[in-house]
Amino acid sequence: MPSQKTGFVQRVFSEVPATYELINHILTLGFDIIWRRRAARIAAMTDGDQWADMCTGTGEMAAYLSRLAPKGTRIYAIDFSPPMLEEASRKPEADRITFVSSDIKALPFPNESFDLITMSFATRNINLSRDILVQSFAEYYRVLRRGGRFVNLETSRPSFAPVRKCFDLYIKLFVELIGGRISGSRTAYAYLAKTIPRFYPPEELAGIMCQAGFEKVTFQQLLFGLAAIHQGTKL
Ligand SMILES: C[S@@+](CC[C@H](N)C(=O)[O-])C[C@H]1O[C@@H](n2cnc3c(N)ncnc32)[C@H](O)[C@@H]1O
């Protein structure tokens, strides 16, 4: 039985699949595409043939991975929203991807199943509390093999205060307005707008990954710190 918060997030994403990608591209002026591709290229430098994209949504990251993966790589894409997965299954790359409907907090995979785990723009959504985020990352750690990598792309908190303030104002003015208008779900985009300014600075997110067991945790900031790619390894 999902908790109230989990049920709310699941409903929010089930309302927006048809317009989800378009709204992201408009709101980020196309930067989300550049950032996802960059994270996919970093992720694809992984050895091993079992890869998984968590909280895949409409499957953009999984599709990029499938284009970069060596022949024989199995790519799994996991999400708990059936409408999002249905949208993902329409991608031309879908026949190279195995879609799995599951809550990432309790993955239906044995320990040490994957060589690579990716996640893009979903950390804010699984951050129902700091403890739950640590537990979710620990679940990723559990299903990774030794030497396996976790690559995470997410919006971030710019450290330079004027940039941070402009970013927060932009989010406040446009995310709910544009997202709500195009998708028809104001609730979904009001929720998404609220999660961005409340998110962790990159150093703190790196600390949360370490707390979940990851080692060699590093991050790179993108576009004045508006987003960041974190990487960690299971040694
Ligand atoms: C903001 S979207 C990100 C989608 C995609 N990764 C991207 O790059 O655009 C967040 C996705 O995470 C999924 N999600 C949120 N919490 C989840 C959970 N606990 N288990 C599985 N999926 C979850 C939602 O259904 C949604 O599709």
Q: What is the CATH number of the domain that holds 36?
A: 3.40.50.150
Q: Whose CA is nearest to atom 22 of ligand 1?
A: 79
Q: 126 CA to middle of ligand 1, Å?
A: 8
Ligand 1 site residues (CB inside 6 A) read 6, 9, 13, 55-57, 60-61, 79-81, 84, 103-105, 120-122, 125-126
Q: Is 225 left (phi over 0), alpha (psi -120 to 50) or beta?
A: left
- Tell me the average confidence (pLDDT) per consecutive run of 10 residues in the chain, 235 residues long: 85 93 96 98 96 98 98 97 97 98 98 98 97 98 98 96 95 94 93 92 98 98 97 98
Q: 55 CA to middle of ligand 1, Å?
A: 4
Atom of ligand 1 nearest to the CA of 53: 6
Q: 122 CA to middle of ligand 1, Å?
A: 5
pLDDT for the residue numbered 1: 57
Distance CA(126)–CA(133), nearest Å, equals 6
pLDDT for the residue numbered 4: 86
Testing ligand 1's pocket by substitution, the residue of 20, 26, 53, 80 carrying the most ligand atoms inside 8 A of its CB is: 80
pLDDT for the residue numbered 32: 98
Do 222 and 150 contact (CB within 8 A), yes or no? no
Q: 133 CA to middle of ligand 1, Å?
A: 13
pLDDT for the residue numbered 3: 84
Question: C-alpha angle 129/201/63, rounded to 5°?
Answer: 80
Testing ligand 1's pocket by substitution, the residue of 125, 129, 133, 185 carrying the most ligand atoms inside 8 A of its CB is: 125
Q: Beta strands of 72-223 (E only): which ranges?
A: 74-79, 97-101, 114-120, 144-155, 215-222
pLDDT for the residue numbered 207: 98
Atom of ligand 1 nearest to the CA of 84: 27
Domain that holds residue 91: 4-233
Query: What total number of domains does the chain contain?
Result: 1
